[in-house]
Amino acid sequence: MADQIALLNEQDDTLEFGAEDDRGSSSSRFKHPVAAGFHVLFKLLAFGVYILFWIVSSSFVLNFIVLVIILAMDFWTTKNVSGRLLVGLRWWNYIDDEGKSHWVFESKKGKQKDALSAGESSIFWSSLFIHQILWILLIFVNIFKFNLKWLVIVVIANVLNGANLYGYIKCRIGSGKSLKDYATGMVSRKMFSTVST
């Protein structure tokens, strides 16, 4: 099996991770304004259209189709474009010849990581977390209003955005570490720095 993976990697003619950014350094705060714009646009569009349809529309089927298409565009853009360009992270899954699923989490290292824009990174992470929080709140709203049709759309939104959030967090902390270990380490470092100052 290791020979098959090595063979797969030898035949791969794609760019190395981060090679698409070898355009020289830019002094601007945003190196990928279009990617950042679409990252935020699809999230705002999905949430805004959901609220608008919930208030004014009576045709659930049309609303469902439109919202799932927008959510899918948001998922694809976040996973395949903005995550790679804005924060230097990417994740994916493949199934080998034996039918086993393998998850791959990558992040830029060294000089490639230093070339990332702090502003774009802030936009990426804040919009990803805020979007997830808003969809989680809408789950509770739909449960309390006993609005099960709209709950289906909110669950789909949570699954798609949650998959991206989980994948990018795993990329950021490293695929071998658990989220619990990472959170514990972060809290202990913060406490130590607070005590030492």
pLDDT in tens, 66-94: 999 999 999 999 988 888 888 888 888 88
Least confident window among 35-49, 103-117, 154-168 = 103-117
Dihedral of CA atoms 52, 55, 61, 62 in degrees, nearest 10, equals: -40
> pLDDT digits over 153-197, tens only?
999 999 999 999 998 888 888 755 555 565 556 555 655 566 566
Q: Over 90: is that where the pLDDT of 135 sits? A: yes
> pLDDT digits over 138-149, tens only?
999 999 988 888
Residues of the chain above pLDDT 90, percent: 29
